[in-house]
Chain A
Amino acid sequence: MSTIAPANTLTDRLTVFANQLAGDPLEGMRRAAAADFARLGLPHTDLEDWKYTNFKGLQQLDALAPLPILDEAAIDLNKYRIAGIDAYELVFINGRFAGTLSSRFESEQRFISSLALARNLRTGLLLEHLGMYAQQQNEGLTALNTALAPDGFVIHLAKNEVCERPVVIYHISTGTKERGWVNQRNLVIAEAGSQLTVIEKYISDSPIFDNVVTEVVVGSNADVAHYKLQTRYGDAWHVGTTRVEQARDSRYYNATISWSGELVRNNLQTRHNGTGCETHYFGLYLLDHDNLIDNHTLVDHAQPHCNSHELYKGIVGPAGKAVFNGKVMVRPDAQKTDAYQSNANILLADTGTINTKPELEIFADDVKCSHGATIGQLDLNELFYLKTRGIGEEKARTILLTAFAGEVIEAIRIDALREDLLAQLMDELHRMQITF
C-alpha cells in the first residue's frame, strides 16, 4: 500500500475537479453535471423513488475515508475470478483501473478498455454517447457520477462484430478497514448486428460505497447479454444505474444477482427506440441479515411491436429489507407491445420486509401486458412431502428455496457461471437455514 488519494471528500472533490477540467474533452458535460448535482443533492426518503430506501450512510459521504492505492502485483486475481470462463478481463481495484491485471483489447472493430484510455482513443465515441442517456437531470447521484467519475470500463463493438468471449469486469475494493467511495462510469456501445456478453462482478473485501453509472447502447439487430453479480459484496453500499437504449430488432438480456451488500440499490432502465426490440430482465436477491437490497426497474416501451419479459425473485430473512419497483411504461405509439412482469418473494419469517410495487402505465390500447407480485412462505405441503421421503427439515427447506431461486440462475446463459452460481446458491441458502 502506498500513498493516499488526495481530495476524497465530496466538497473537496467538486472543487478540485473544476480546476482540473481544462482541456478534458468531457469538460462541458462534467460542468453541467456538477450544476445538476448542486441543484439535486443526494437522494433522501422524501423522494418518491427513494421512499423505501433509507440510505442514511449517504449523508456521511463527505466523511468517507480516502481509498488506498494498492500495488497491482500484490493482488491475486484468482481469489476473485469466475472459474471456467475464457474471458476478457477488466480489473478495477479501489476504483482504479488495474492495467497489468486486465486484458485490454483495442482495435478498430473491438475496443475493450477503460474510460481514461478511451478519452484519447475513442474521444468521438465518448462525446457522442457519454452522459446522453442516464438521467442526470433528475438523479443526484447520477449527476455526481457524471461530474466526478475518474474511470470505468468502455466497450465498443463495431458493426457486425461478434465478441465470442465474454468481458468480465472485476470491481474490487480491498486493503482497508474504513469505508471509502468510488464513482465508476461505464459505457457499452454495441453497434448494429454485433454481439456481446458483459459480466460485472462487484467484490468487496473492504467496506465501500460504489456509485456506478453504466450506459448501454444496443444497435439495431445487436445482441447484448449483461450480468451483474453482487454475490461477494460484503457490507458494501452500492447505487448502480444501468441505462439501456435499444435500436430496432435488438435484444438486451440482463440478470442481476444480489446476495450480499449492506445497502444495495440497482436501477435498471431500458428504452425502446425502434420496433421489434426484445428485453429480458432476471433478478435474484437474498437477504440474510439486516441489509437492504432494492431493485428499481423500468422498461420504456416507446415503439410498437416490442417485447419485454421480467422475472425478479427474492428470499428475505427475518431482518432483511427488500424493495422491488418495476415500472413498465407503454407509450401511445407502442401498439402490439407484449410485456410480462413477475416478482415473487419468500419471507423466511414475518419480521422480514418486502416492498413490492409493480407500476404499469399503459397508454396504448392494443397491447398484452401482465404482471404479478407475490409474497409468501415456503409451502407446507411441499415440505411435508419431502420429509415423508426422508429429507430432514433443514435440507428440505434448502432444496425448496434453491428450486425457487434457481429459476433465475437457470436464466444465465454461460454454463460455467450458471453452474458456479447454482452451487454457491445452495451453500448460501443452506447457511441461511442454519443461521435462522
Chain B
Amino acid sequence: MLQINNLRASIDDKQILKGINLEVKPGEVHAIMGPNGSGKSTLSSVIAGREGYEVSGEVLFNGNDLLEMAPEVRAWEGIFLAFQYPVEIPGVSNTNFMRTCINEQRKYKGLPEMDASTFLRTMREKAELVELDPNLMKRSVNQGFSGGEKKRNEIFQLAMLEPKLAILDETDSGLDIDALRIVSNGVNKLRNKDNAFVVITHYQRLLDYIVPDFVHVLMNGQIVKSGTKELAYELEEKGYDWLKTELKATV
C-alpha cells in the first residue's frame, strides 16, 4: 500500500528526514516511536503533502507517486492524517465542513452527493463511535474544543472519510486514560484487512490498546530500529538512551 524509499526532507537547509524506508501493507498497524524532534511529525506532514519542504526519494501509494499529488488528491486517494495539533477553523461548522469533505471525495470518485438523511445518520453513528458530543457538530471546527475533544474529532473525521491509510500523529498525547480508551476502541473498530494505520506515539501505553504489528524507532531523521511490539516494551523500560548507546556500539 505505502512504500517509502530513501525519503529525505529538509527545510531552510536543515535536514530533518535523512533517508526513511518503510513499507506498509493492507491490514497492518505500524507504530513509530521516537524522542521529541526526531522527525515524526515531519514524516507525516510530508506524506500528507504539506508545502515548504525540499523532498527527495520516493513515496508510492498503491503504486502511484504520492509526492506528485496535491494534498487533497492524496486525501481522495485514501490518505488521512490525524494532526498532532488539530487546527481550529473559526466560522466553519463541523457539520458543513464534514459535508463538504464527504461530497468532494464523492465527486472525485464520480459519485453523487450524499443525501441529507444518510449524511446525518452517518454523522451520528460515527460521533457515537468516539463518544463525541453531538452539540460539537454545530460549532466551528475545533474552536473552543478541549484537547481531548480535538483528538476525538480527528478520529471522528477519520471514521467519516474511511481512508485506506491513516496516520495518527500523537493522537494519544494529552488524553486521559478514559479518552485514550475511547479513541483506541474507535480505531480498533475501524481496522480491517483492507486499511492500514501508522500510529505515531511517544508512549508504549497507547500500544496496549492499539496493538501494532510492527514498531519502528525514528531517531534523528532515520528509522534506526524496527521490530514487533516487544520493542515498544523494551524502549519503555530502557529509554531511548539505551538505543543510542547500542547504536554507537554497532557503528
Contacts and interface: CB of A to CB of B under 8 A. Distances in A.
Given A388-B80, A392-B70, A382 B87 contact: yes
Contacts, number: 70
Contact of B161 (A386, A390, A396): A390
B101 A389 contact: yes
A393 interface: yes
A388 B72 CA distance: 5
Given A384-B50, A385-B83, A391 B89 contact: no
Contact of A388 (B49, B90, B91, B105): B49
B76 interface: yes
Given A384-B71, A391-B100, A391-B101, A399 B92 contact: yes
B157 interface: yes
Contact of B71 (A388, A400, A404, A407): A388
B91 A407 contact: yes
Interface in A374-410: 380-382, 384-393, 395-396, 399-400, 402-404, 406-407
Contacts of B71: 384, 387-388
Contact of A385 (B87, B90, B104, B108): B87
B87 to A, nearest CB: 4
Given A385-B83, A390-B75, A399 B100 contact: yes
B89 A382 contact: yes
A228 B154 CA distance: 41
Nearest to B80: A388
Contacts of A380: 51
Contacts of A406: 91
Q: How large is the interface on A (under 10, 10 to 19, 20 to 34, 35 or more residues)?
A: 20 to 34
Contacts of A395: 100, 104
Nearest to B108: A390
Contacts of B100: 391, 395, 399
Contacts of A399: 92, 97, 100
Interface in A221-242: none
B123 interface: no
Interface of B: 48-51, 70-72, 74-76, 79-81, 83, 86-92, 97, 100-101, 104-105, 108, 140, 157, 161
8 contacts: A388-B48, A388-B74, A388-B79, A389-B157, A390-B72, A402-B91, A403-B90, A406-B91
Pairs A-B, 4 closest by C-beta atoms: A403-B91, A390-B75, A387-B71, A385-B87
Interface of A: 380-382, 384-393, 395-396, 399-400, 402-404, 406-407
